[in-house]
Chains A and B, each alone.
Chain A
Amino acid sequence: MYPWLSLGPLVISTYSLCFLCAFLVGGLLTSHEIKRQHRATEAILRVALGALAGGLLGAKLSMLIFLGPATFIKDLPSLWYSGQAWTGGFFGGYLGVLLVKRFNHINYSTGDLFAPALPLAQAIGRLGNLLGGDPFGLPSNLPWAIMQHGVRRQPSALYELVLDLALFVIIWRLRDKLPRPGDLFKLYIVGYCSLRFLVDFTRADPHVLLGLTLVQVLYTFALAGFGYQLFVSFRQSWQAKMVLDRQTADVL
């Protein structure tokens, strides 16, 4: 673990540095994607700000659920600068986008613009977690287990880092290749929820239902909802392609 990075006289928390880098890289990549698709409109700016506001609020407020009200109130003085949950940030950001779109009567998909940046930013964030020694994995004797507070544990942050990077490569390569707008974002959600569901089996988080962590329970619902939407979208585009092929064959 390297919780502090020394650059000459400058000593900075590696987690904070990675957190800042994740924001910068995510913002720059999203900006690049918006320009590439010629969608730099006021509506998209509003959606991006909605995502940012919702994400920040969600990341903090979700700590209320993850920590429990008593611990949340006890830790409140230190929570403004530490403690945020990706899951809360994600759902908060998604809710922020939905609200902005509803109030601004935006009825077209915008998620594809953010889809490539999200897994890359998450990978950078997880690098910060890994270097900072958080989150705790389950105790393990595997050769690649890492020491966390004197105990050899599963490097769950490393697993997620690698899987996030793999998801980024997949999303990046599928840009402009999926048939319907919004599919790329749905694919990202399904991909991320799946990998996080698996990674959580190596984390030492408390189980809340049927041996699953709270995040796994939440992601099961997200997986079911977005997975179904993605399935319907793929099926509809496949059916449309079949109809088109049949009509082309009839004409010929």
Chain B
Amino acid sequence: MAQNNDPGRKRQYWLGLGLGFIPLIAFLIFYGLYLRSPSSLSSPFITWIIITFILYGIELFVVIGFLVSSQVRFTGYGLLTAFLVTPIITAVACNALPHIIHA
């Protein structure tokens, strides 16, 4: 198989990685806002947090779509990397965010 050094492929990979982290970034923003809201249980941010979970679920189908197309396969690899790493970063962030917000 070909080397990955082709700049176009590298660009595709990083683009995929960036796109793949959108649900995570959205989740972190809304989770942070949710923690800051005074009445957390009725916070409107809960809906947005659920939407980020749905986005994450949709991302799996986008990954498959990109991976089967030979033209944008490297974007698919980037998306897949982000898809796999997202739960790890989310777990760490969920531990840290309440302390940061309430500090």
- Residues on A lying within 8 angstroms of B by beta carbon are 4, 9-13, 16-17, 19-20, 23, 40-43, 45-46, 49, 52-53, 56, 80-82
Contacts and interface: CB of A to CB of B under 8 A. Distances in A.
Q: How large is the interface on B (under 10, 10 to 19, 20 to 34, 35 or more residues)?
A: 20 to 34
Given A46-B77, A56-B84, 7 more contacts: A12-B95, A16-B92, A20-B89, A41-B4, A52-B85, A56-B87, A80-B91
Contacts of B41: none
Contacts of B5: 40
Contacts of A13: 92, 95-96
Nearest to A56: B84
Contacts of A17: 92
Contacts of B92: 12-13, 16-17, 19-20
A19 to B, nearest CB: 7
Given A49-B81, A52-B81, A40 B4 contact: yes
Interface string B83-103: 011011111101110011001
B24 interface: no
Nearest to A81: B91
B68 interface: no
Contacts of A10: 96, 99-100, 103
A49 B87 contact: no
The A interface, classified by DSSP as helix, strand, loop or mixed, is helix
A53 B84 contact: yes
Contacts of B88: 19-20, 23, 56
Query: 4 nearest interchain CB pairs?
Result: A11-B99, A9-B103, A81-B91, A16-B92
Contacts of A20: 88-89, 92
Contacts of A42: 1-2, 4, 73
B42 interface: no
A23 B85 CA distance: 9
B25 to A, nearest CB: 16
A41 B94 contact: no
A183 B59 CA distance: 38
Contacts of B90: 81
Given A9-B103, A10-B103, A80-B91, A41 B80 contact: no
B3 interface: yes
Contact of B95 (A52, A53, A81): A81
Nearest to A57: B84
Interface in B50-99: 73, 77, 80-81, 84-85, 87-92, 94-96, 99
A112 to B, nearest CB: 18
B35 to A, nearest CB: 14
B84 A45 contact: no
A45 B96 contact: no
Contacts of B100: 9-11
A12 B73 CA distance: 37
Contacts of B91: 16, 80-82
A81 B81 contact: no
A237 B36 CA distance: 64
Given A10-B103, A42-B4, A49 B96 contact: no
A195 B88 CA distance: 27
A238 to B, nearest CB: 33
